[in-house]
Amino acid sequence: MMRGGLDLPKPAYDQAVLPPDITELNSEQLAEMFTVLTGWADYMSSQLVQAQLAERDALRKSEFVESKALVRLTTGAPKGTTVSLIKAQIDIDPDIQDLRDKYEEKYAYRKILEMMLNNQERDITLVSREISRRSQTMGRRDSFIL
């Protein structure tokens, strides 16, 4: 697994913020809005994939260390030691807590990226619908011209 991830460039332009009424945008502004939203969605998608891979790696590391601890504690445990006690010992191990915390950070970051990408895609859909609506309206007007 890559440690630093890919260094994908961010779009060269700021993220777009939709106005309250996109019908007020002229065609050029609407097309620009679509391009900006799409560029940022592409970038966020690449970041999301990297976050998913980092989350998976953190989970794998945490589970591996927990399994090693389970084997170690089970093998050396006095007779009559319960599985619940062994699991509790694993749960309070500072190294395992640290790995779990790292996993939770990766999980939270991935969830935030998913939310941001979903919002971006919803905005793209809205702009796309407005472009389609305008295209259909213009097409109807053109068909009535003799």
For the segment 103-112, what is each residue's pLDDT rounded down to a tens digit? Answer: 999 999 999 9
Confidence class of residue 60 from pLDDT cuts 50, 70 and 90? very high
Q: Rounded to 5 degrees, what are φ and ψ at 54? A: -65, -40
Q: Give the range among 51-55, 78-82, 89-93, 110-114 with minimum mean pLDDT.
A: 78-82
What are the structure tokens assigned to 23, written together? 């019908």
130 vs 76, higher pLDDT: 130
Closest residue by Cα to residue 86 from 64, 59, 103, 66: 66
Q: Structure pTM?
A: 0.80
Q: Which of 11-20, 53-62, 133-142 has the weakest average pLDDT?
A: 133-142
Each domain of the chain, given as residue ranges in start order, spans 28-144
